[in-house]
């Protein structure tokens, strides 16, 4: 039997794109690619989930409070908005993560929908079994989301043409991709997904 699929767009937010507070090099390049995936999943009648980092001003995630990062994706700010070129359909389900002082929210599985339902509950309620995941950044939120999805028994396909990494240390993104594959993720391009 065919498994029910969903598109997961991880953190394609202004602050992670060039000009933002924590820019992922070429982060905005995933936008036109995602617009094609969005069209495809829409045409298939399959759901689309967009995750977002949604931080308070004070969080252990930020340098000032002992974390590794400059402030980014502050709740309600322009930087936390999705990239304006991303053509999210009206019925996209938004998953917010990292929205308390202690919660860093690298994984979408730490997040919840607008009613407070956890991401895993949302996916189970929709009977989703196979996640197609891309976004920003390969070596942080994409990695954490994919590994949690695998741990929770989902089939995962990494959208290799719709990811960009930060590479704080050279090779981080490459190592993250290898780790995701080792743990059981598949890897596809747009053409492969379309013809699957
Ligand atoms: C992320 C670094 C810090 C991400 C979030 O979305 O991948 N990376 N916070």
Averages of pLDDT over each 10 residues, the chain, 196 residues: 90 98 98 98 97 98 96 98 98 97 96 98 98 98 98 98 97 98 98 96
Ligand 1: lining residues by beta carbon, under 6 Å: 11, 16, 22, 53, 69, 136-137, 140-141
pLDDT at 2: 77
Tell me which of 140, 144, 164, 172 to substitute to probe ligand 1's pocket, judged by most ligand atoms within 8 Å of the beta carbon: 140
For 38, 79, 93, the CA distances from 90, given in Å and listed in that order, are: 12, 21, 9
Q: State the Cα–Cα distance between residues 153 and 120, nearest whole angstrom.
A: 11
Q: State the Cα–Cα distance between residues 39 and 32, nearest whole angstrom.
A: 11
Q: What is the pTM of this model?
A: 0.98
Calculate helix-pair angle for 143-151, 172-182, nearest 10 degrees.
10
Buried b (16+ CB within 10 A) or exposed e, 8-46: bbbbbbbbbbeebbbbbeebbebbebbebbbeebeeeeb
What atom of ligand 1 comes closest to residue 143's alpha carbon? 7
Distance 63 CA to ligand 1 centre (A): 13
Residue nearest to atom 4 of ligand 1 (CA): 141
pLDDT at 45: 96
Tell me which of 14, 15, 22 to substitute to probe ligand 1's pocket, judged by most ligand atoms within 8 Å of the beta carbon: 22
φ/ψ of residue 161, rounded to 5 = -95, 5
Q: Which residue in 194, 155, 174, 186 sits closest to 2, CA to CA?
A: 155
């Amino acid at each position: 039997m065919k498994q029910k699929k969903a598109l997961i767009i991880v953190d394609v937010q202004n602050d992670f794109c060039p000009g933002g507070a924590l820019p992922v090099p070429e982060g905005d390049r995933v936008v036109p690619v995602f617009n094609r995936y969005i069209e495809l999943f829409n045409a298939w009648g399959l759901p689309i989930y967009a995750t977002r980092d949604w931080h308070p001003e004070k969080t252990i995630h930020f340098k000032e409070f002992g974390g590794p990062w400059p402030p980014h994706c502050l709740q309600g700010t322009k930087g936390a908005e999705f990239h304006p070129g991303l053509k999210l359909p009206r019925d996209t389900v938004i998953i917010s993560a990292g929205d308390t002082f202690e919660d860093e929210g690298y994984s979408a599985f730490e997040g919840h929908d607008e009613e407070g339902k956890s991401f895993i509950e949302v996916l189970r309620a929709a009977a989703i079994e196979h996640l197609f995941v891309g976004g920003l950044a390969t070596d942080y939120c994409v990695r954490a989301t994919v590994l949690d999805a695998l741990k929770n028994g989902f089939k995962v396909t990494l959208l290799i043409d719709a990811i960009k990494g930060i590479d704080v240390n050279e090779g981080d993104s490459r190592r993250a991709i290898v780790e995701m594959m080792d743990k059981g993720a598949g890897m596809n391009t747009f053409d492969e997904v379309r013809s699957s």
